[in-house]
């Protein structure tokens, strides 16, 4: 019998009785920048996202894309806090996206981020080295003024613990980016408050999952941003940081969702408790308010044709396992899917070295994960029993779902059982296990359309 089998099964039986007992308010967010910021593909992609049952899209508002003369070392003469003084062309693609998304009932979540225009940085060499907080405050105020009536969820700076987004990360072996980020966050928060958005949800972080000699590990970055020592003691000179939640990107490796990074300051999807515990300790130290929610705002499973990634079949299996891990953590407010389509291949030797986490190939062909995203299913092997968790994402209320199986060597699927979801489309089931068995979901929508998920193996 596997270790912890009995207590885990007890939890599963509770889940079977009440699937909503884990994370009842978790919202799925979708990010597809290439399609959503392009007039030619925006509406079609929003229709796809809406058909998935997704309620929110994430968009990065790039400072340098909106600001006038972003490559100039000389600051142009204009009031940076006034949205109307920016070029209309800089706002246009964001204006169009918000109009199209909101008309479909989709929420829009904005991340205000660099790179900065060169003239808004300390040395004016590039857009990521020492951005000026006062200029960023003005930009955030302009963004908040323009979109405050349409948006109520914001975050500040994308992956500030990564050197391609903020520099310097280290100086003399000491992490310096957390201190830079704290000032940028406070400045943007003030700008959003000044533009009438003080009652909105404003998130801290947007951190990447793992550190190295160039990237500050997320929990090290968190402590530095909050003026905390390694033992979570706060410097007296630092006030509590005003934030409504913590945003994080818990990407894992090709080892899968249950991978546990050896560095205790790294946070991938399989070790979310590290982030929960760190935020609890930060709250106890009065560095932030207690009980902050966690927003997993960027996530995907890198797949073929990236030679170092997982197969298309594994991508379809790993995504629902990851979502289930997020679902089981009551502090998680948001989960996410990064990319509708893979990035285009690069010219030269490493053609597939960007993001291949999409539900479609770069040329539009569907991956198995596309069908799986609509009806995610994760099955855990507990020895003699398999326990499944799933979701009919487009469901508008309780519905019936057929669980089908195919044993090893069989050619066809047979119905295992019919289960009833809760009001959010969540369901669970238990079955005897069989080596090599595959499971899948079959759901008939109220309009008669039938959706069939990809084959799913059970995992320990």
Note the pTM of the prediction, 2 decimals.
0.95
- Quick one: three-class SS letters along the chain? CCCCHHHHHHHHHHHHHCHHHCCCCCEEEEECHHHHCCCCCHHHHHHHHHHHCCCEEEEEEEHHHHCCCCCCCCCCCCCCCCHHHCCHHHHHHHHHHHHHHHHCCCEEEEEEECCCCHHHECCCCCCCECECHHHHHHHHHHHHHHHCCCCCEEEECCCCCCCCCCECCEECCEECHHHHHHHHHHHHHHHHHHCCCCCCEEEEEEECCCCCCCCCCHHHHHHHHCCECCCCCECCCCCCCCCCEEEECCCCECCECCCCCCCCCCCCHHHHHHHHHHHHHHHHCCCCCCCCEEEECCCCCCECCCCCCECHHHHHHHHHHHHHHHHCCCCEEEEEEECCECCCCCCCCCCCCCCCCCCECCCCCECHHHHHHHCCEEEEECCCEEEEEEECCCCCCCCEEEEEEECCCCCCCEEEEEEECCCCCEEEEEEECCCCCEEEEEEECCCCCEEECCCECEEC
pLDDT of residue 19: 46
| Per-domain residue ranges of the chain | 21-374
CATH classification of 21-374, choosing from 3.20.20.80, 3.30.420.300, 3.40.1710.10, 3.60.40.10? 3.20.20.80
Low-confidence residues of the chain: pLDDT under 70: 1-24, 349
């Amino acid at each position: 019998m596997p270790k912890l089998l009995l207590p885990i099964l007890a939890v599963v039986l509770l889940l079977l009785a009440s699937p909503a007992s884990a994370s009842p308010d978790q919202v799925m967010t979708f990010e597809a920048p290439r399609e959503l910021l392009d007039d030619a593909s925006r509406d079609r992609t929003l229709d796809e996202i809406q058909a998935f049952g997704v309620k929110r899209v994430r968009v990065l508002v790039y400072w340098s894309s909106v600001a006038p003369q972003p490559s100039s070392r000389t600051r142009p003469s204009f009031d940076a806090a006034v949205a109307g003084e920016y070029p209309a062309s800089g706002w246009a693609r964001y204006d169009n996206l918000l109009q199209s998304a909101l008309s479909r009932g989709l929420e829009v979540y904005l991340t205000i981020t660099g790179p900065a225009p060169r003239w808004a940085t300390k040395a004016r060499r590039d857009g990521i080295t020492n951005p000026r907080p006062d200029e960023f405050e003005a930009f955030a105020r302009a963004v908040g003024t323009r979109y405050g009536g349409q948006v109520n969820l914001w975050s500040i700076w994308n992956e500030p613990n990564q050197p391609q987004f903020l520099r310097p990360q280290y100086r003399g072996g000491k992490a310096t980016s957390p201190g830079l980020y704290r000032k940028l966050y406070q400045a943007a928060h003030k700008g959003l408050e000044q533009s009438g958005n003080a009652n909105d949800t404003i998130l801290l972080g947007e951190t990447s999952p793992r550190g190295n000699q160039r990237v500050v590990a997320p929990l090290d970055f968190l402590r530095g941003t909050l003026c905390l020592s390694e033992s979570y003691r706060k410097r007296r000179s630092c006030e509590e940081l005003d934030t409504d939640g913590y945003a994080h990107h818990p990407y894992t490796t090709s080892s899968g969702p249950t991978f546990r990074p050896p560095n205790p300051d790294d946070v991938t999807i399989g070790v979310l408790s590290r982030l929960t515990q760190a935020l609890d300790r930060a709250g106890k130290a009065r560095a932030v308010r207690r009980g902050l929610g966690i927003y997993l705002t960027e996530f995907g499973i890198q797949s073929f044709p990236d030679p170092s990634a997982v197969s298309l079949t594994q991508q379809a299996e790993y995504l629902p396992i990851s979502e289930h891990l997020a679902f089981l953590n009551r502090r998680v407010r948001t989960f996410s899917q990064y990319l509708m389509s893979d990035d285009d291949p690069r010219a030269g030797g490493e053609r597939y070295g960007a993001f291949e986490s999409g539900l479609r190939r770069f040329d539009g062909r569907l991956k198995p994960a596309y069908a799986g995203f609509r009806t995610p299913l994760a099955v855990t092997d507990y020895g003699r029993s398999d326990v499944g968790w799933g979701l009919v994402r487009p469901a508008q209320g309780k519905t019936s779902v057929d669980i089908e199986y195919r044993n090893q060597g069989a050619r066809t699927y047979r119905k295992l059982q019919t289960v009833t979801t809760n009001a959010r489309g969540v369901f669970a089931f238990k079955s005897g296990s069989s080596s090599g068995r595959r499971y899948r979901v079959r759901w008939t929508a109220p309009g008669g359309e039938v959706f069939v998920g990809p084959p799913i193996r059970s995992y320990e």
